[in-house]
Every structure is written in structure tokens, then in C-alpha cells.
Amino acid sequence: MAPLAEDARLHYALGALISASVALLSLFVPFENLLSEYVVTRSFYWYPAWRVAVSTLLLWLASVALSTVESRISKPLLASSCAIFVIAHYSLLYAISGYSSERLGISCRVELLPLCYRTTCTFAKGFSANTYYLDLGQVLTLATLASFVQPVELFKKLVSLLKK
């Protein structure tokens, strides 16, 4: 594997700096009330991870849009925003998984599955609910990895493996 050129290192450092700045800013700016019709209390401890996940998801989408025009900075920005999103997303799921409130009479847990996750919440009166969600942590990782692989080369390698 050839070492990265000096120009490419600069682009990766710039992409990481932009992603880290967006994540750090969103960590401390409570924008929940701007997105919700209802007033959101900040009593739940998973909101900072949620903020970082939402802002880096938006940054990832912006870098996908930017990659149609320019690729030198968009690929590093795509990779770094995906990495920070995955960390924030799974931190959020970990925080939700351990949530239990006797006052509200609810406890939740999260189970990871291929390309989705399931939340199971048990309520005080014995009622339990399972909800399935598309796992954007896995989807964004696969999409980001796919953007770094040349589809024609991948197809040729796959065909040669299938011929053997």
C-alpha cells in the first residue's frame, strides 16, 4: 500500500477537523427544541450523543452531495463524519439500552441485528413493546466503504472469484 501523498494527508486532516468541530459544537448546543413542536426537557442523558449523531448525519449527507462536484475533500469528510456518527450512534443506543426509570415505570434494552436494531421497552403494567429500526450506523458504514471502492474493479474481482 502506497503512503498517502502530502496533499491527501492535508485533505484528511481538514475533513477530520471539520467533522470534529461540527460534533463538538453540536455537543453543547441544544437544538432539540428547534426540531420539535413540543418543548423537550434535557433530563435524558442520551441527548448529547443524539445531537452529535444528528449533526454528523447531516454533515455526511452534505459530503455525499459535495462528492458529486468535488472529491478531494468530500471523501475525507465522508469518512470522518461517518466515523464520528457511528461512535455517537452506538453511544446513544448504549445509553438507551441501560435506561430504567421506576418513577416512569419503564425499562428499555436494545438488540443489534443485521442492518437494523430492535428496542424492547417494558412498562410497569407488564406491557412490552418491540420496535425495529433501520441501523444507520451499519448503513452509513457500508455506503462509505462502497464509495471508496471502484465498482468496476470490485465486480471484476467478484467474477474472478466466482469462476474459481
In a domain, residue 72? The reply is: yes
Average pLDDT of span 33-48: 72
Alpha helices by DSSP H, listed for the chain, are 6-28, 32-35, 47-67, 74-97, 136-148, 151-163
Q: Is residue 155 part of a domain?
A: yes
Q: Is residue 25 part of a domain?
A: yes
Q: How confident is residue 42, by pLDDT bands cut at 50, 70 and 90?
A: low
* 133 contacts 93 by C-beta, under 8 angstroms: no
C-alpha cell read off for 125: 403494567
Closest CA to 72 of 21, 14, 20, 17: 14
Q: Is the pLDDT of residue 96 over 70?
A: yes
The answer to whether residue 54 is domain-embedded is yes
- If you average pLDDT over every residue of the chain, what do you get? 84
Q: How far apart are CA 78 and CA 143, in angstroms?
A: 10
Q: Determine, yes or no, domain membership for 37.
A: no
- Residues 120, 111 contacting (CB under 8 angstroms): yes
Q: Nearest 5°: phi and psi at 7?
A: -65, -40
Classified as helix, coil or strand, 112 is strand
Q: What is the pLDDT of residue 5?
A: 67
Evaluate whether residue 18 is within a structural domain: yes
Tell whether 88 is covered by a domain: yes
Domain that holds residue 49: 9-31+45-163
Of the listed ranges 24-28, 80-84, 115-119, the one predicted with least confidence: 24-28
Report how many domains make up the chain: 1
pTM above 0.85, yes or no: no
- 127: DSSP letter: -
- 1 lies in a domain? no
